[in-house]
Structure 1
């Protein structure tokens, strides 16, 4: 088996983030946690992932502090921590990117709606400290030494 490259000591925040949640199963588990899944069986049914893979990914998300394991009667529940909840904009951004680029016009897909008014969310944008929207051309990476 090929050993996975680790980025947990990389200087780049994107690389470290990918190290924590970059595999697709972990991101889909987090997505399902936002959608209300709590128990192992709920995640397994939703994702159709092998139990050993799901177990490994759930343990890693707990170890990373993204999920917490809570006893709930005869079962355990996996709940998002504040660190996990902070992934909400990441999941929304991936969802919106997928809606824009992964479906043919008119092809059915799920939507994320505001509970209050039942309407779709506005597309996410990145803003500078002064509030103006920025694009990649407006930014530069500054390495801190």
Structure 2
């Protein structure tokens, strides 16, 4: 085989418009998903997040500000009696759309990193109580049984190098 026949076709395409790269610029720092986990689990106040995660104050401040700036979270004011106004953090539509990503990361962690007795958290369907799982389906509704069945192809926003 010559080197030209082994060259991946993906090398012919520019990564300037790669939405995976753009998403990771917003979400790729390790504490981002810890913050999202907290908000998805109902922990919305700064002090509660710090206590529950042990995250350094400066790191948490930066992560929350970045997620608000990118429209993933929004700040909602609240005030305890006799205290100054503070903010809690709520998911926006853009933030809620990350739920399948969080579930997929959790499933991967459960499969490869859980303690021998099992995962510390199980996510269930509110209506029936069955465990939630992520699955891939094509636009025609066919389930993707094996990840190797997925073929990346240039999309409408792709640009040749």
Q: Under TM normalisation by the shorter chain, which class is it?
A: 0.7 to 0.9
Aligned-residue Cα RMSD (Å) equals 1.8
What's the secondary structure of 2:117's corresponding residue? coil
What's the secondary structure of 2:88's corresponding residue? strand
Larger Rg: 2
Identify the residue that residue 96 of structure 2 maps to in structure 1. Answer: 85
Residue 117 of structure 1 deviates from its aligned partner by: 3.1
Aligned residues: 136
Q: Does 1:111 align with 2:117?
A: no
Instruction: Please give the residue correspondences for 1:1-145 in structure 2 after superposition, counting only pairs within 5 Å.
Output: 10-73=16-79, 74-121=85-132, 123-134=133-144, 135-143=147-155, 144-145=158-159
What's the secondary structure of 2:121's corresponding residue? coil
Residue 108 of structure 1 deviates from its aligned partner by: 5.0
What's the secondary structure of 1:46's corresponding residue? helix
Note closer, same or farther for the CA distance 1:44–1:118 as it changes in structure 2 (3 Å cut): same
Residue 139 of structure 1 deviates from its aligned partner by: 1.7
Normalised TM-score (structure 1):
0.85
Post-superposition CA distance 1:26-74 (Å, at most 9, x none): 1110111110011101111111011011001110010111010111122
Contact 2:110 2:118 in 1 (8 A): no
Contact 1:10 1:16 in 2 (8 A): no
Shift >4 Å, 4+ stretches: none
Normalised TM-score (structure 2):
0.77
| Greater RCO (CA < 8 Å, at least 6 residues apart) | 2
Unaligned runs of 5+ residues in structure 1 are: 1-8
